[in-house]
Structure 1
């Protein structure tokens, strides 16, 4: 099966390269303590890193679909990593960023539009849906590498907290997006294995799946259980609640620079 697309359709977008540049420069500012406002530098690093991860998430869906037989993803611009090319910019980029700012939750965004009839085989359909959350898992593993490799003592303290908070967002996004709820990738994994009758019955509820998950998270008991699970996963990666807490505190620079023992700001 051919997966040929033109060079133009595969060219990385300047928009994405700009986001990567912002992420790198802000990471350098946090690492070297160059910025007069460490919190603002952490904010730029986390937001740009989060948007980069969203682009990679959507790219993973598209790239897997390309190898599955949907050549249309190239013409749609999905392989350029340009966030403006995705079908739901508001759902994929804007809304998740707002939720990061408001509540520190990595909210999964809307997926790219895949022409399902071009894909042959249930396993390929499932893999296309799974590719997005797996990208978040990989990103979380890379961000937490200094923690689980035992080299975090060599990392500047504020940068360590920024890494921890960005990794927390990846973990929450991976968990939420893996839920078997219509409209989320977790449901997309199991959908090919459901009967046609069940899929038709569930289809009208897909646009409301993300809202339903958000509503359920407002229930205190559910919220507490969810973050208990997140903290357990982060702990297994060597990241403590102290790390993620202060990462979020620095991220919210508009509340004033945080003060705590060990860091002078």
Structure 2
């Protein structure tokens, strides 16, 4: 019996995503205008909601590329609606990434779309599907840092600048992590189609543990952690963002720890 492949309603933007985008817009306005009595709370809402938006766009990019590459079943799975709850489990897609942002200021790769690779022909298409997600994070980082590398910061409130810098840091960390050629991450998905069948069979059992291994190395081996964040900082400096902006962005994001007097002095508070 043939299965339903795609339908116009499958591509209608989810009200859940629109609601998250609305929170991003309103909280961003609150940061920009210094509307909130607790600016850190506004920064927290703005960065968190914008981060969830970027997670949705990351997975949507995978799904849309797969759809146009031949897997028409993508639509029926709800992946083209931008609904974050459609991308695997809510815990993995939303809760864990947000918790990692709070705990470590790092962009954890979120959910996943399940693609019928058998419907897709051509190694380049498979590689592009895997690359589409982290490339979205790269684009998001470029957009967030545009005022910095365009030297267009005049008129941009300082706290909003901090929030953009921290959001850009999350995007850069997510892009770098996703592009690592580790089984289970998008970087491995890019090179996998070009590997021999024997190597793929040997590596396949490691895929569920790839991300866990990466985070164990990052959090428990200082040399790896330092090298990773040195790389992140180097990328951000190329985009015009310094350590002050990202550090103060993280401080404002963790508003429950109290306002950082040093950062607040730059913000005129």
Normalising by the smaller structure, the TM-score range is: over 0.9
Q: Is residue 2:81 matched to residue 1:54?
A: no
> 5 Å matches for 1:135-174?
135-174=136-175
Distance in 1, matches of 2:183 and 2:7, equals 34
Q: How far off is 1:94 after superposition? A: 1.7
Distance 1:168 1:138 in 2: 13
Query: TM-score, normalized by length of structure 2?
Result: 0.95
Deviations 1:192-249 (A, max 9, x none): 0111111111111100100000001021011111111111100000001100000000
Mapping 1:195-210, distance limit 5 Å: 195-210=196-211
Q: Which residue of 1 aligns with 2:113?
A: 112
Could you tell me the TM-score, scaled by structure 1's length?
0.97
- The 8 Å contact of residues 165 and 249 in structure 2, kept in 1 or not, is answered as yes
* Residue pair 1:88, 1:112 contacting (<8 A) in 2 also: no
Pair 1:110–1:262, CA change in 2 (3 A):
closer
1:1-265 superposed matches below 5 A: 5-218=6-219, 219-260=221-262, 261-265=265-269
Structure 1's 203 and 110: CA in aligned 2 closer, same or farther, altered over 3 A? Answer: farther
Asked if structure 2 preserves the Cα contact closer than 8 Å seen for 1:87 and 1:111, the reply is yes
- Which structure 1 segments of 5+ residues have no match? none
Determine the C-alpha separation between the residues in 2 that align with 1:141 and 1:114.
28
* Offset at residue 258 of structure 1 (A): 2.0
In the TM superposition, what is the alpha-carbon distance from 1:262 to its structure 2 partner?
2.5
**Residues 6 and 74, structure 2, Cα contact 8 Å, conserved in 1:** no
Equivalent residue of 2:267, what SS?
Answer: coil
Deviation at 1:102, TM superposition (A): 0.6
Structure 2 unaligned spans of 5+: none
Q: Give a deviation string over 1:79-137, Cα, whole Å, max 9, x none.
A: 00001111233222221111001110001123210011011000000000000000000
Deviates more, 1:129-138 or 1:253-262: 253-262
Work out the CA distance in 2 between the residues paired with 1:217 and 1:258: 26
CA deviation profile, 1:9-57 (whole Å, cap 9, x unmatched): 0000000000000000000000000001000000000000000000000
2:259 partner SS:
coil
Partner-residue secondary structure (3-state), 2:240? coil
Structure 1 range deviating more: 250-259 or 29-38? 250-259
The RMSD of aligned alpha carbons is 1.0
**1:177 match: secondary structure:** helix
- In the alignment of these two chains, the number of paired residues is 262
Find the aligned partners of 2:11 and 2:111 in 1 and give their Cα distance: 21
